Chain A
Amino acid sequence: MKMKIGFEVHEQLATKRKLCCDCPTDYREAPPNTNVCPICTAMPGAKPMPPNVRAVDAVIELALMLGCDVVVDKPIYIQRKHYDYPDLPAGYQHSSTPIGINGELVGVRIREVHLEEDPGAYDPVAGTVDFNRCGIPLVEIVTEPDMHSPEEARRFLRQLMLVLDYSGKVRPEPGTLRADTNISLEGGTRVEIKNINSTKGAYRAVKFEVMRQKALIERGAVIPYETRAYLESQMITVPMRMKVVDFHVILDPDIFPIVIDRARVETIRKRMVEAPHQREQRLAKQYQISQAVAGVIVSERELANLFEAVAKEVDPKLVATWFQTNLKKVLNYMKLRATEVKFTHKQLAGLLRMVKAKRITPEQGELVLRKLVKQPAEPEELIRKLGLERLEKADLRAAVVRTIEENPKAVMDYRAGRKEALNFLAGKVMKFTRGRADPREILKFLRAKLKEKKKRRVSRRTKRSK
């Protein structure tokens, strides 16, 4: 069944003060209604302060990251959007006319990017409101209905979250996402869903809604145009029974318009963070690595930064492989994000250089990497501490010879065609060399040595038969 899905996504911007008052924006630890003042609680007569310029700049930057055209040299108005709901103390929400238009992200068109204000936190079940977050600047991103399945919707939201996270312009704490979505199935009506607070929630809400609408259409019922709420706890949507509202939009006479000139946009563009999807393309091309690997590398901004720093010094392909497998593995195992890594790119580069030069084996390299993540130090030093200095070829040869002499039964088994005997012998060599030898090298040596002796014997036997 064909469907169209679009989003309106809101995220809090990372500022110290609210958009139109001096209340702090960090409310997570604050008791209810402590980060408030007459302005953000809409006391009668309170007038907004001039808008926080950092919030405006953040929206411009995000618009650019989403490939939008920034609206320049034209007034951008702060509007009042009226509706009656307990979370909205003034009875209207500040919402700018578009700051960015015509963007695109992973094939989904971005219609508009706005600056808005967060309403208060309304608990619809308890019937209580906390205005601590009321007035925090938000970026609002409106997409075209370009997604055609719940999976596509999820993919888009994940990518969008990554862009926002990359930008460093939104609040870093989790759980600040607020999304509305609209869904229409072929032969149905557009339905809006509010109260979505996570990517997972969006996926489930869309999935539920598709099923619900499908069932209605199949029964021949008409889907009414309506606004529904997603109930996280039950993973269903319910009608909000809101009257069809006209927002009575007027330009806020209290706040003068903003005009953005080209110079301001260019300044922001220059210092702007490259968006992950753009970076992925670039990394793949510049370092000749696969799109998939590039995708893994850009999954965190710090990871990508680290990659590029290391790739400058060591063969990028090797670095990419290491990032995709070993480093990811170690970080996942230790439940660390790339931002939390303490070693320097020089240290990692040093380690990989040794791997590249075969001074240590990849397995040893991973051991060192683990140490490096736990307690950063120079790789040389770590190798010494771990006793991983490279084994001389002669020493390895001696160890192999000794192993063969000491384990005649295993040698016989191997020669009798029992291949697993080789692994047993390799383990013995490993023990002799205290893990300093490359397993591949050990096998190579062992095989060669065993073959050599066999050959000799065979030749003798031939002689005898003669």
Chain B
Amino acid sequence: MGRGTLEKLKAILQGELSATENVQQALNRIKELDKKIKAFIELNPNALAEAEAIDRKLKRGERVGKLAGLTIGIKSNINVKGLRATCASRTLENYVSPYDAEVIRRVREAGGIIVGMNNMDEFACGSSGETSAFGPTENPAVLGRIPGGSSSGSAAAIAAGMCDLCLGTDTGGAIRNPASHCGVVGIRPTQGLVPAHGLIELAVSFDQIGPLAPDVYGAALMLETIAGHNPNECTSLDSPSANYSDKLGIGIENIRVGTSPKFSELADSAVMEVIDGAVEKLHDLGAEVVEVELPNLEKSLSAYYVIMSAEFFSATRKFDGRKYGRRIEEVCGDEVLRRIKCGDYISRKDQHDRYYKRALQVRTLMRREFGEALNKVDVIVGPTVPKLPHKLGTKLSPAEMYAYDYLTSPISLAGICAGVIKAGEASGIPVGLQVQGKVLGEGTVLRVMRALEAAK
């Protein structure tokens, strides 16, 4: 911990810190803390060897990539060849990935050193990090509380300084929610910006891989490494490659920032207090704050769960225990089974119109509402999670658990991007500001986040 991503990268490139030392430090830190935090499920046995290869390259003055020597944690639902992508489930407990996800190929090419696979909610079904078959993850920022989920291990690893950057995944909020609870930076990119090949599905039309980082620079660096068109995927956006990290410091004068009265309706006042403070700060930094309408914001949650369940049911049919792993229904946890059951029910021919079709209409509505709102402003800012994280082990009903996603799922339905940065604390618990941008508006989102970060 301590130094920021940029400084760390400079130190490695200038030979003050070797990649090997950096990896060793990460491994030491994991060894020291992870019995308690449970941020990692598996470590990469080749991490040191890979770091040595980077060091040799540096010594010879060869070109190295953007992430040279940085330590990277990977959520366990992303395929890393030779490591287990368990999705924190007994289903895939022994599934050793036979291939690299496209983002992993890009991370490797950029010189990032994968240190291990992060813990998560089982099959990304959860918003607390508690549904992992390998035990719940702790929140390093507030011990005893949930770290949020489902990218629980990723956010915790960053918060505990166990690695430099992480790749998480966000379907209905799974990067943003734990980023908020753990006080780190997280980005959910625009649907299709980051290739999804190799990401084990929760709901494929919402799933997005994105970075978790200790600072905005780190998130920007990781995002520009993994973003960009993959012609081998149908749904990959054919967008020009972007450079975010160079343009972070432009400032936010003349940027129009939208807020909505809906946010205070849906979020607890303790959360809103911190958020309001952050909005004020943005105003002080030169942004123009404008109120926008999001009249049906709270309707997205149900629609999200309906569509997600239908797609999850479909995606889990391959876990029949024949080719690899075990049959999912026989070994998975209750929440995973519940979503499979929901999906089974929803996508039956006779039920299809009543639930699924209706939910897809709400998706259209969300797109329209956010589209209209974002015509008036550059970004919309608000809370990430309506509540503060609960104490580990507290029994919540499914509905209470799902309610954590009230403010993050609309962005998933709308297909736009959003970043989260720590806005402050409520009773010592981090609260993240959600900065919601237009389609491919990551650059602006990151600038706003950086401005807030720099003002601290």
A-B pair number, CB within 8 angstroms: 97
In the complex, the answer to whether B79 meets A250 with C-beta atoms within 8 Å is no
CB B94 to nearest CB in A, in angstroms, measures: 12
Interface string of A25-63 (1 = CB under 8 A from B): 000000000000010011111111111000000000000
Q: Which of A80-88, A320-328, A347-355, A360-368 contacts B (4 or more CB under 8 A)?
A: A80-88
Instruction: Tell me whether A107 is interfacial, beta carbon within 8 Å.
Output: no
Instruction: Tell me whether A92 is interfacial, beta carbon within 8 Å.
Output: yes
Query: 14 A–B contact pairs at CB < 8 A?
Result: A38-B79, A41-B323, A43-B98, A43-B99, A44-B85, A44-B92, A45-B77, A45-B101, A45-B201, A91-B314, A246-B350, A248-B349, A253-B235, A255-B234
CB B64 to nearest CB in A, in angstroms, measures: 28
* Chain A residues near B344 (CB-CB < 8 A): 248
Contact pick for B314, options A38, A46, A250, CB 8 Å: A250
Instruction: Tell me whether B348 is interfacial, beta carbon within 8 Å.
Output: yes
Given contacts A43-B97, A46-B197, 15 further A-B contacts (CB under 8 A): A43-B324, A44-B324, A45-B200, A47-B196, A47-B204, A82-B317, A90-B317, A91-B317, A92-B317, A248-B313, A248-B344, A250-B347, A250-B356, A253-B205, A255-B234
Interface string of B70-88 (1 = CB under 8 A from A): 0000000111000001010
Q: Given A38-B98, A253-B311, answer yes or no on A49-B233 (Cβ-Cβ < 8 Å).
A: yes
In the complex, the answer to whether B200 meets A248 with C-beta atoms within 8 Å is no
Interface string of B341-374 (1 = CB under 8 A from A): 0001001111000001000000000000000000
Q: Given A84-B320, A254-B204, A256-B235, answer yes or no on A45-B313 (Cβ-Cβ < 8 Å).
A: no
Instruction: Tell me whether B274 is interfacial, beta carbon within 8 Å.
Output: no
Closest to A253 in B: B205
* Chain A residues near B348 (CB-CB < 8 A): 246, 248
CA distance A41 to B323 in the complex (A): 8
Interface of B is mostly: loop
CA distance A45 to B98 in the complex (A): 11
Closest to A42 in B: B318
Q: Given A86-B322, A250-B356, A254-B204, answer yes or no on A45-B199 (Cβ-Cβ < 8 Å).
A: yes
CB B90 to nearest CB in A, in angstroms, measures: 14
Instruction: Tell me whether A89 is interfacial, beta carbon within 8 Å.
Output: yes
Contact pick for A42, options B92, B97, B323, CB 8 Å: B323
* Chain A residues near B421 (CB-CB < 8 A): none
Contact pick for B234, options A248, A250, A256, CB 8 Å: A256
CA distance A255 to B314 in the complex (A): 14
Instruction: Tell me whether A448 is interfacial, beta carbon within 8 Å.
Output: no
Interface string of A221-259 (1 = CB under 8 A from B): 000000000000000000000000011111001111000
Q: Given A90-B318, A91-B318, A246-B348, answer yes or no on A49-B232 (Cβ-Cβ < 8 Å).
A: yes
Q: Which chain A residues in 69-128 approach chain B with CB under 8 Å?
A: 80, 82, 84, 86, 89-92
Closest to B317 in A: A91
Closest to B203 in A: A253
Q: Which chain B residues in 318-333 approach chain A with CB under 8 Å?
A: 318-320, 322-324
CA distance A50 to B238 in the complex (A): 13
In the complex, the answer to whether A253 meets B323 with C-beta atoms within 8 Å is no
* Chain B residues near A44 (CB-CB < 8 A): 79, 85, 87, 92, 95, 200, 318-319, 324
In the complex, the answer to whether A46 meets B317 with C-beta atoms within 8 Å is no
Interface residues of B (CB under 8 A from A): 77-79, 85, 87, 92, 95, 97-99, 101, 196-201, 203-205, 231-235, 310-311, 313-314, 316-320, 322-324, 344, 347-350, 356
* Chain A residues near B78 (CB-CB < 8 A): 45
CB B78 to nearest CB in A, in angstroms, measures: 7
CA distance A248 to B312 in the complex (A): 12
Closest to B196 in A: A47
CA distance A38 to B78 in the complex (A): 14
CB B191 to nearest CB in A, in angstroms, measures: 10
CB B378 to nearest CB in A, in angstroms, measures: 29
* Chain A residues near B79 (CB-CB < 8 A): 38, 43-45
CA distance A88 to B320 in the complex (A): 10
In the complex, the answer to whether B234 meets A38 with C-beta atoms within 8 Å is no
In the complex, the answer to whether B200 meets A84 with C-beta atoms within 8 Å is no
* Chain B residues near A253 (CB-CB < 8 A): 203-205, 235, 311
Closest to B199 in A: A45
Closest 6 CB pairs of A and B: A91-B317, A253-B205, A45-B200, A248-B347, A44-B200, A42-B318
In the complex, the answer to whether B99 meets A38 with C-beta atoms within 8 Å is yes
In the complex, the answer to whether B198 meets A45 with C-beta atoms within 8 Å is yes
CB A383 to nearest CB in B, in angstroms, measures: 61
In the complex, the answer to whether B197 meets A248 with C-beta atoms within 8 Å is no
CB A81 to nearest CB in B, in angstroms, measures: 10
Closest to B79 in A: A45
CB B360 to nearest CB in A, in angstroms, measures: 10
CA distance A380 to B423 in the complex (A): 97
CA distance A250 to B203 in the complex (A): 13
In the complex, the answer to whether B85 meets A45 with C-beta atoms within 8 Å is yes
Closest to B325 in A: A44
* Chain B residues near A41 (CB-CB < 8 A): 323
Contact pick for A248, options B97, B314, B320, CB 8 Å: B314
Interface string of A123-162 (1 = CB under 8 A from B): 0000001000000000000000000000000000000000
* Chain B residues near A248 (CB-CB < 8 A): 313-314, 344, 347-349
* Chain A residues near B314 (CB-CB < 8 A): 80, 82, 91-92, 248, 250
* Chain B residues near A247 (CB-CB < 8 A): 349
* Chain A residues near B319 (CB-CB < 8 A): 44, 91
* Chain B residues near A256 (CB-CB < 8 A): 234-235
CB A434 to nearest CB in B, in angstroms, measures: 72
* Chain A residues near B320 (CB-CB < 8 A): 84, 91
Closest to A249 in B: B349
* Chain B residues near A38 (CB-CB < 8 A): 79, 98-99
CB B413 to nearest CB in A, in angstroms, measures: 13
